[in-house]
């Protein structure tokens, strides 16, 4: 299992009140694929550097999770078909240090 970070830009155009439900739904998709969520960071709505799908701003959310490497491609394909996701970026993170190592 590797640690990953998934940064997603969500399309909130006309759906600002349902953003919490969308974040929870996407978290469940990750969990259903076998990911173990460590943290969900709601980063807020920001203006995009360039328009994407005729949208000038998006709500950014960052998921930090552990998963098998094969899950990333499956999730990327599923999220590509999701109309609520404008952009997605994945990055492998360094392994967490063991608690015993951190205490020393």
Global pTM reads 0.84
Residue 45 corresponds to which tokens in the numbers above? 């709505």
Give pLDDT tens digits for 12-66. 877 777 889 999 999 999 999 999 999 999 998 898 888 877 888 899 999 999 9
Q: Which domains does the chain have, with CATH numbers?
A: 2-85 (3.30.70.60)
Could you tell me the sign of the dihedral formed by the alpha carbons of 87, 93, 99, 104, in that order? Answer: negative
């Amino acid at each position: 299992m590797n640690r990953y970070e998934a940064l997603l830009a969500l399309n909130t155009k006309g759906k600002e009140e349902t953003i919490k439900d969308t974040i929870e739904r996407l978290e469940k998709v990750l969990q259903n694929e076998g990911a173990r969520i460590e943290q969900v960071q709601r980063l807020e709505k920001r203006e995009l550097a360039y328009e994407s799908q005729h949208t000038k701003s998006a709500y950014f959310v960052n998921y930090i999770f552990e998963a098998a490497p094969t899950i990333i491609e499956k999730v990327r394909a599923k999220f590509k078909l999701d109309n609520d996701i404008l952009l997605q970026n994945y990055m492998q993170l360094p392994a967490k240090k063991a608690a015993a190592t951190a205490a020393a």
